[in-house]
Structure formats: C-alpha cells, structure tokens
Homo-oligomer: A and B are copies of this chain.
Amino acid sequence: MQVAIVLYPGFTSLDVIGPYEVLGRLPDTEVVFVAEQPGLVRNDLKSLSINVVTTIADVTEPDVVLVGGGPGQPAQMSDGELHEWLRTVDRTSAWTASVCTGSLILAAAGVLNGRQATTHWAAMEQLVEFGVTPSKQRVVIDGHYATAAGVSAGIDMALALAGLIAGDDVAQTVQLIIEYAPEPPYHAGSLESAPAAVVESATNKLSARFPAR
C-alpha cells in the first residue's frame, strides 16, 4: 500500500505526523511525503523543515492520499496543479483523507462535493461554501473520504482508517505500540469542554486566520 501525505509551506506538523505515525506502521506500507516542488518545506511555526524528495507528479496512484491543514492552507485554495492532482488521485484512491483545514483544500478541489466532512472547529462554516455538509464529529467517514477535526484528531482518524484497511487487530497493535491511551491533564480540547475564557482566548489567537463568523 502507498500512502501519499501532501506538504505545503505553513503546514501544521502534528496534522501530518499523527496519521503518519499510525499509517506508516501498517504492514507492507510505503509512505511518501509529497509536494508540488522537491526540497525543504517549512511548517507554520517556522522552526521545522521536512525534506521532500518526491513531487506530486511522481505519485500517480496512491492508495491513500492525506492532506493536513495549517496557516498555509489559504494559499492552497486556488485551482492549479495540486487541485488537479487531488482530483486525479481521488479517482483511484482507496481513501482520500484530511486533517484540520486540509478538508478545505479537498473541498476547494471539488472532491468533497455533497459529502459530510469535518475540519478545525474555527473553520467549520467554511465547508458550507464548497457544498460540503459540516459535521461536529471528531472523525467523519463518508464514502471513501475520511476527515478529521483539528490537528490532534488525525491520530484518531488514522487509527479508524487503520482498522478499516488492515483490521481491528492490526490497528490495536499499532495503538499499543504508540502507547495511545491519552490522559490530557485538562479537559479543554473542544468547544464543548473548554471553559468560556479559554474559548475566547483561543478564538482571539486564531482571529487573524479565521475572521469572526
């Protein structure tokens, strides 16, 4: 199985590394990080650069294609080489997946039309503009599309996909190997659980990226 993970400048690292750590451990699986151009791709926090040797043009029929989100996502919303590639590989992929605002890129490319999907809580309404029905579930499976909520939700999505691809036993084995028995020290990871002051603080911090709804 080949998994292609798309990178672009300003990606959020955990969006892609969470699912990578899960899917990369499935049997007989090759993961390739791909971008429009080869070379170093720098993340949103600007302190991490991943080296890309394979371009999207080099990967023609991945079994799984995954697009993460991040502050670089708005620059990937115009039609062009990436969107064309996404539409093409989506025709033969077993799974087309996204994490966080990666679903907005899939939506803009036109592949999520009429589907249910999720994204980061702050970007939820933007899905509607592309004919996508937003869902507040952390992981949404609709047809061969798997979308995850913000950043860390990609781990849960990838474990669900791992089960669908390789069976429950394999997915659980991966979960135990990466010791994924989460114990967050706070209960503030969702709009529903976070204190009002925390929601306000997070909304303010994200306001440049997601203008007030």
Q: Which of A's residues lie within 8 Å of B, judged by CB?
A: 12-14, 17-18, 20-21, 24-25, 30-33, 40, 45, 47-51, 100, 120-121, 138-139, 149-153, 155-156, 159-160, 163, 168-169, 171-173, 175-191, 193-195, 197-199, 201-202, 205-206
Contact = CB atoms under 8 A, between A and B. Distances in A.
A50 B48 contact: yes
Contacts of A195: 172
Q: Which of A150, A159, A175, A191 has most B Cβ within 10 Å?
A: A175
Contacts of A202: 173, 176-177
A121 B180 CA distance: 12
Contacts of A151: 21, 177-180
Contact of A176 (B13, B24, B160, B189): B189
A50 B49 contact: yes
A188 B172 contact: yes
